Amino acid sequence: MSSHTKKPLTYAQTGVDIKAGDKLVGLIQTMMKRTHGPRVLGEHGGFAGLFRLDFNEKLFQRNFKDPVLVACTDGVGTKVKLACELEIYDTVGIDCVAMNVNDMIVQGAEPLIFLDYLGLHTQDPETTAAIVSGVAKGCEISNCALIGGECAEMPDIYKEGDFDIAGFSVGVVELDRAVDPSRVEAGDVIIGLPSSGVHSNGFTLARAAVEGLNLNEVYPELDETQTLGEVLLEPTRIYVNPIMKLLSKYTVKKVVSGMAHITGGGIAGNLCRSITNDVDATIHLDRWEIPKVFTFLQQHGNIETEEMFNVFNMGIGYVLVVRPSFADSITVHLQHLGESPVILGEITEGSGKVHLVPNLAS
């Protein structure tokens, strides 16, 4: 058959449905608008989102003196494989926001705006809307405006049913309030905030550990009400509100020396990024109870304890390093904010190392 007699080729025949994309826009408009405050400008559907850093109305004026923009980008990793397998789509968006804004507040920055990226095999508006609903929920929790995003339909790249999600966030901090590792001194106290579970790191290992188990089954030794899949998909905690409220309480004295978001690499692999080469951090592993999900993964995956701490957060999702004279008052304030802070250890003179006690290698 000659090229002149071929049936006209359409985008839909190649696997990309423009009409489905248009339907999605209508579904997510309300979700996005719930995250918008008075500094968001323009209507949804433009080529870019607009956000006013400051403006004249006294009610909203921030009076920045020396503002510094802080930007983060991150994804959810192979946790999306579980979401696809279980067809639970409304939680990984929260994870995506959390992975970005939790990194941002380590610098003392207030999250302002968020944009998401979805790579899809085929556009199913209801499924995609469920994913974006999680993003919007995460933005609401973190007081961050969802001002745009991209949904890319690429059947040549993603297998049927597969998708990936990543995000990008921008925040602001006054230069003299930015948290700097050089503040951390010997004698400082290390405080940990609990995680909600595995969060969004180490899922390639976690998935290998539970291979052969039924994700839809309830394992009483893990949880008496949730299935294994539901436990693993528990969204990453967002620490924005307690951390921002804590920092705003101490507007003159810089009582928080440093902070760390505990992601891939565990406590040691992340806290070392928040101290200088002049000090060490000592973490006492008997200060908190390891959540059941990590014990379950370790037993079923036959994973060494040292490897567990090298990969997972092990129940501590965020760490603060604070001045010793303020450790008690900060702990009480965090408790009033609904947190369950744990005194993990202390800072000593050293060479930039993080020591986990007892020594896991012994």
SS (H, E, C) the chain: CCHHHCCCCCCHHHCCCHHHHHHHHHHHHHHHHCCCCCCEECCCCCCCCEECCCCCCCCCCCCCCCEEEEEEEEECCCHHHHHHHHCCCCCHHHHHHHHHHHHHHCCCCEEEEEEEEEEECCCCHHHHHHHHHHHHHHHHHCCCEEEEEEEEECCCCCCCCCEEEEEEEEEEEEHHHCCCHHHCCCCCEEEEEECCCCCCCCHHHHHHHCCCCCCCCCCCCCCCCCCHHHHHCCCCCCCHHHHHHHHHHCCCCCCEEEEEECCCCHHHHHHHHHCCCCEEEEEEHHHCCCCHHHHHHHHHHCCCHHHHHHHCCCCEEEEEEECHHHHHHHHHHHHHCCCCCEEEEEEEECCCCEEEECCCCC
Dist CA 138 CA 35 (whole Å): 9
Which tokens belong to 352?
Answer: 């930039």
Q: According to the model, what pLDDT value does residue 16 have?
A: 53
Residue of 16, 28, 5, 216 lying closest to 137 (CA atoms): 28
pLDDT at 39: 73
- Model confidence at 355, pLDDT cuts 50, 70, 90, reads very high
- pTM (global) more than 0.85: yes
Of 149, 173, 171, the C-alpha closest to 39 is 171
Residue with tokens 């968020």: 114
Task: Specify the pLDDT at position 20.
Answer: 53
Tokens of 299: 């037993």
Nearest to 251 by CA among 52, 112, 72, 63: 63
**Between 317 and 44, the higher pLDDT residue:** 317
Tokens of 195: 């995680």
Question: What is the spatial distance between Cα 29 and Cα 321, in angstroms, rounded to a whole number?
Answer: 40
Domain ranges of the chain: 9-44+64-176, 181-357
Instruction: Tell me the pLDDT of the chain averaged across its residues.
Output: 89
Domain 181-357 fold:
Phosphoribosyl-aminoimidazole Synthetase; Chain A, domain 2 (3.90.650)
Which token pair is 28?
């997510």
**Contacts of 267 by beta carbon, 8 Å cutoff, 6+ apart:** 192, 260, 283, 309, 313, 314, 316, 319, 344, 354, 356
pLDDT at 361: 44
| pLDDT tens figures, 8-58 | 655 565 555 555 555 555 566 777 777 777 777 766 556 777 777 776 666
Q: Which amino acid is at 186?
A: A
Instruction: Express each pLDDT in 185-216 by its tens digit.
Output: 999 999 999 999 999 999 999 999 999 999 99
What average pLDDT does this structure show over 54-65?
66
* pLDDT value of residue 34: 75
Q: Tell me which residue has tokens 């705006």.
A: 113
The string of pLDDT tens digits covering residues 229-257 is 999 999 999 999 999 999 999 888 889 99
Q: How many residues are given for the chain? A: 362
Q: Tokens in use for 177?
A: 């309030």
Residue 310: pLDDT over 60: yes
Residue of 103, 162, 99 lying closest to 127 (CA atoms): 162
Integer Cα distance of 80 and 103 in angstroms: 20
Task: Report the pLDDT value the prediction gives residue 359, as an integer from 0 to 100.
Answer: 52
Rounded CA-CA distance 321/251 in Å is 17
Cβ distance 100 to 73 under 8 Å? yes
Return the pLDDT at 1: 47
342-347-349 Cα angle (round to 5): 170
The closest of 128, 80, 58, 70 to 101, measured between CA atoms, is 70
Does residue 327 register a pLDDT over 90?
Answer: yes
CATH fold of 9-44+64-176 reads: 60s Ribosomal Protein L30; Chain: A; (3.30.1330)
- Least confident range of 15-19, 109-113, 147-151, 300-304: 15-19
Residue 30 is encoded by which pair of tokens?
């309300």
